[in-house]
Each structure stands twice: as structure tokens, then as C-alpha cells.
Amino acid sequence: MASQDWLDKDFYQLLGVSKDVSDAELKKTYRKLARKYHPDSNPGDAVAEAKFKEISEAYSVLSDAEQRAEYDQIRAMGAGGARFTAGGGGGQGFEDVFGGMFGGGGRNTHFQAGGPQGFEDIFGGMFGGGAPRGPQAGRDIQATTTLDFETAVQGKTVTLQASTGSVKVKIPAGVADGQKIKVRGKGEPSPTGGPAGDIILTVSVRKHPVFEREGQNLRVKLPVTFSEAALGATVEVPTLGGAPVKLKVQPGTPSGRVLRVKGRGVASSKGTGDLLAEVQIVVPSHLTPEATEALEAFRAVEPKENPRADLLARAKG
């Protein structure tokens, strides 16, 4: 959208923020709206798609300090700050404006490009400009994409539908939720012959029902029975996108202990993490008479240690 069209759109109102909104609050508001109106969340909804494009456009301008300043200036002028009329019956005409600037009396005013204040200097002073700038880069395009957990860990090439056409973007392995990827030269073309802008792609990652990510490591909760924890056992542990692996649980393993499976975490350019299995002892909800009898016999001979003794001592300070 060309800057001369900014008069017709109130980006602050579109995003529901005040004109003095901070960068952090602006980003937070945009991400909330982007998730709400993203085409992936509203398949086939043309209204939501149009709304998503509008808020992306608004955020693209307001998140850039230079463009935001230019936008605010243009909007202020459009609100009544700088208007030129043809002269005559009402207000101040074009000749009156320049007559007042040069101390002249209307039609006898003359302009000289080479004098103390040339024509370019006049407009530079009025509009905050100076000497003409060289070709400027095109505007960046803000985009979002949502990936499932496993795809984000393994990486993928996605196709974006931008205003400049279809663009293929390679998502690197190990990309994290909220991470931004810059695709250089695929944004809007420059109106002045400069380089094209970039695509700034924000990645959203869906949660996994089993695994959680901690940096380069993956964490999983590993249920084990009381007898497996007390006596020791070899159990199977699931891995992301692969076959389960066998893990040895040592005798006397308490609930909450973390067992490590090397090299089964997130593989990226930063290295490969591990799989962290957090032991959770499962207490059976139903016992057979034989199991109850066996536990009663065990309770009669188990060590007479109070597992809460340290907790009670520390609580007293």
C-alpha cells in the first residue's frame, strides 16, 4: 500500500491500540489477533482472511519506527494540519501561504532555486525532508505459519501466499514456538528501484500430547509401577518420530527422578539434545485380595523410616 493511501486507514483503530502504544504491547496485540484470524484457524472464511491481511499490514507499518513516524505525520496532515485551497473566498490560498513565508504580498512573490532558500528547501522544511534520498528498500511482509510439534522439530518447506505471489520457505529443524524467520528479498518490491523487502515469518508450534521441549532436549513423563521402581526393571520409552527405546530403571528409583536417553532430543544447527524421562510411580487403583495380602506382608517388614521426616523438619525452619 502506497503511503498516500494511509490517510484512508486508521491502523491504531484496526489493531485496537492507542497511538502511544509501546512496541511490546503492539507485538502482543498483533500476535493475539493474528492467531484469531489466521487462515489456518478459519479455513474457507474469506472475511477472516481479509481481516488477517489488514492487521498484518497495520502491524508491518506500526512496528517499523521510521514508517510509523511517517504514517503519523501523514495522518496528522490529513486531519487538518496542512491543507491548500485555491485562494479567494475563504481560508488561506496557495499564494497566501507562500506569500507569508517569503514576506511578499501575493501575486508578486517569486521563487528562486538558487537563492538563500530554494524551492526544495521550502518543502524540506515544511514536510521534514531534506535532499532527495536514494532508492529505498520495499516494505517487509509479516506472515505466520502453524506447524505441528514433530514437523517443527524435524523441519519442513512450506509455501506462503503473499501479496507478491507464492513463496517457498524452508523451516529449519528445531524451530521454536514464536521464532521469527527472515526470508530476504521476498517482500514487497521497492517503488523507487531499490531492493525488495523481506518476509518476516513467525512460527507457531502446536503442543504435543506426550513430549515437551526444553531447549534442545525433549521431556516425557514415564509411568512405572511400584515394583518396577523398587526392584528395578527395563522399560520401553517412546521417542519422537521413531521406535521406542529400552531404558533401565535402577532398583530404588524414586518418583520424579529424571533418566536421560542420549541423542534422542532435538537435532538442529545448535547440536542434538537428549530425551529426558521423568519417572512417575503409578499406584494401582484396584488391588486383588492376593495383592493386598502381599502388600500387608511387605508393610510389616518394610524399613521403619518416615519419608516425611525431612519435610516436617524443614517446615519448622
Strand partners, 216: none
| Beta strands 271-272 and 267-268, pairing class | antiparallel
What are 292-308's pLDDT values in tens digits? Answer: 999 999 989 988 888 88
Average predicted confidence (pLDDT) for the chain = 80
Residue 44: exposure state from Cβ atoms within 10 A (0-12, 13-18, ≥19): exposed
**Residue 153: closest CA among 170, 173, 180, 169:** 173
Q: Assign 148 a pLDDT band (cuts: 50, 70, 90).
A: very high
SS3 at position 115 = coil
From 219-228, 290-299, 308-317, the region with the lowest mean pLDDT: 308-317
Q: Assign 261 a pLDDT band (cuts: 50, 70, 90).
A: very high
What are 122-147's pLDDT values in tens digits? Answer: 344 444 444 445 688 888 988 888 99
Cα→Cα distances 288→178, 230, 284, 285, 300, Å:
50, 20, 10, 10, 19
Between 5 and 34, residue with greater pLDDT: 34
Mean predicted confidence (pLDDT) in 263-272: 90
Instruction: Say whether pLDDT at 150 is over 90.
Output: yes
E-strand ranges in 138-288 read 141-147, 156-162, 165-171, 180-183, 199-205, 212-214, 217-225, 233-239, 242-249, 258-261, 267-268, 271-272, 275-282
**Residue 154: closest CA among 133, 175, 124, 125:** 175
Instruction: Say whether pLDDT at 79 is over 60.
Output: no
What are 163-218's pLDDT values in tens digits? Answer: 767 888 888 999 999 999 998 988 888 888 889 999 999 999 999 999 999 999 99
Q: Assign 243 a pLDDT band (cuts: 50, 70, 90).
A: very high
Alpha carbons 91 and 159: distance in angstroms, whole number: 55
Cβ atoms of residues 155 and 144 within 8 Å: no
> Which residues lie closer than 8 Å to 16 by C-beta, 6 or more apart?
29, 33
Which pLDDT score is estimated for 133? 59
Q: Assign 78 a pLDDT band (cuts: 50, 70, 90).
A: low
Cell of 129: 525532508
Alpha carbons 86 and 28: distance in angstroms, whole number: 46
Share of the chain above pLDDT 70, in %: 79
Instruction: Say whether pLDDT at 246 is over 90.
Output: yes
Which pLDDT score is estimated for 190? 86
Between 152 and 93, residue with greater pLDDT: 152
Q: Assign 278 a pLDDT band (cuts: 50, 70, 90).
A: very high
SS3 at position 260 = strand
**3-state SS string over 15-70?**
HCCCCCCCHHHHHHHHHHHHHHHCCCCCCCCHHHHHHHHHHHHHHHHHCCHHHHHH
Which pLDDT score is estimated for 179? 92
- Residue matched to cell numbers 514433530: 150
Between 279 and 39, residue with greater pLDDT: 279
Instruction: Say whether pLDDT at 32 is over 50.
Output: yes
Which pLDDT score is estimated for 204? 92
Which pLDDT score is estimated for 302? 87
Q: Assign 5 a pLDDT band (cuts: 50, 70, 90).
A: low
Instruction: Say whether pLDDT at 63 is over 70.
Output: yes
Alpha carbons 317 and 299: distance in angstroms, whole number: 31
SS3 at position 298 = helix
Between 281 and 164, residue with greater pLDDT: 281
